[in-house]
Amino acid sequence: MTTRQRTRVVVIGAGQAGLSVAYFLRRLGLVPRDDYVVLDRGPGTGGAWQFRWESLRLGSAHRVHDLPGLDELGLSFATADHKRPAREVVMEYYEAYERHFELPVLRPAAVSSVGYEDSELVVRSGAGEFATDLVINATGTWGAPFVPYVAGAERFRGRQLHTSGYTSAEQFRGQSVVIVGGGTSAVGFLHELEGVAAQLTWTSRRPIDWIDQTELTPEAGALAVSMQDDAARAGLALPSIVSGTGIPRTRRNHAGIQRGLLVAERMFTRIEPDGVRWPDGSLLRADAIIWATGFRPELRHLAPLKLREKEGGVAVAAGASWRDPRIFFAGYGPQASTIGANRAGRVVARQAIAALSRLGSLGA
Long-range pairs of 269-274 with CB within 8 A, sequence gap ≥ 24: 269/151, 270/150, 270/151, 270/152, 271/150, 271/151, 271/152, 271/153, 271/155, 271/156, 272/152, 272/155, 272/156, 273/152, 273/155, 273/156, 273/157, 274/157, 274/158
- Compute the distance between CA of residue 72 and CA of residue 138 in angstroms, rounded to an integer: 24
152 φ, ψ (degrees, to nearest 5): 90, -5
Nearer to ligand FAD, 106 or 359 (CB): 106
CB of 68 to ligand FAD, least distance (A): 13
Nearer to ligand FAD, 75 or 271 (CB): 75
Provide the Cα torsion 249, 251, 256, 259; round to 10°: 120
Nearer to ligand FAD, 271 or 299 (CB): 299
CB of 231 to ligand FAD, least distance (A): 17
Nearest to 6 by CA among 126, 121, 111, 112: 121
Nearer to ligand FAD, 126 or 152 (CB): 126
CB of 39 to ligand FAD, least distance (A): 5
CB of 186 to ligand FAD, least distance (A): 11
CB of 281 to ligand FAD, least distance (A): 34
Nearer to ligand FAD, 113 or 175 (CB): 113
What lies within 8 Å, CB to CB, of 128 at 6+ separation is 2, 3, 4, 5
- Residues in touch with ligand FAD (CB under 6 A): 12-18, 39-42, 47-48, 52, 61-64, 110-111, 138-140, 142-143, 185, 298, 301, 331, 336-338, 341
